[in-house]
């Protein structure tokens, strides 16, 4: 399965620069269904969901399940996706009991105060399996200095 990267020139500038978490949330459904979204579908999701779910930097405002649910429906699934956990620091999640679990790995790319990041730190999000092992990097050129958090999502239905 060939997943579209956030840097794909067919996507808009905001997704190209800040869309890693957004792409990971959509990619949960892609891995779950075994089908990839097209660039047109990704742009439609962005247009439908960003105004209410994310800011211009693709930081989610508590609507992650809405974004993944849109993607699941677009790929023909009636399942739902929910964030069920958050682990701070770099840990192994081998103990996670549910079978249909995905993780989103939040890694630090720039420290607060670095040039271009004077006001806040920079982060990059990658999709992981249930054990926190990366399975999709929406921007392979992004350099992660350290892992900060692991967000845990479960597919239901």
- SS3 for the chain is CCCCCCCCCCCCHHHHHHCHHHHHHHHHHHHHHCCCCCHHHHHHHHHHHHHHHECCCCCECCCHHHHHHHHHHHCCCCCEEEEEEEEECCCCCCCCCCCCEEEEEEEEEECCCECCECCCCEEEEEEECCCCCEEECCCCCCCCCEEEEEEEEEEEC
Q: Are strands 80-88 and 146-156 parallel, antiparallel or unpaired?
A: antiparallel
Nearest of 105, 120, 110, 112 to residue 152 by alpha carbon: 105
For residue 5, give both structure tokens: 């990267």
Q: What's the pLDDT score for residue 35?
A: 97
pLDDT along the chain (157 residues), means of 10: 96 88 95 97 89 63 80 96 81 62 90 72 89 94 90 91
pLDDT at position 86 is 82
| pLDDT at residue number 88 | 82
């Amino acid at each position: 399965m060939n997943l579209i990267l956030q840097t794909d020139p067919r996507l808009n500038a905001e997704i190209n620069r800040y869309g890693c978490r957004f792409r990971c949330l959509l990619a949960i459904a892609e891995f779950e269904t075994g089908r990839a979204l097209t660039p047109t579908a990704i742009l439609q999701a962005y247009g439908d969901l960003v105004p209410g779910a994310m800011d211009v930097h693709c930081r989610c405002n508590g609507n992650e399940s809405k974004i993944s649910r849109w993607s699941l429906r677009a790929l023909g699934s009636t399942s739902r996706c929910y964030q069920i956990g958050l682990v701070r620091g770099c840990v192994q999640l081998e103990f996670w009991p549910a079978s249909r679990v995905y993780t989103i790995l939040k890694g630090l790319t720039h420290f607060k105060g670095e040039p271009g990041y004077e006001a806040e730190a920079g982060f990059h999000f990658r999709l992981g399996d249930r054990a926190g092992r990366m399975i999709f990097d929406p921007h392979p050129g992004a350099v992660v200095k350290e892992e900060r958090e692991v967000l845990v999502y479960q597919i239901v239905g």
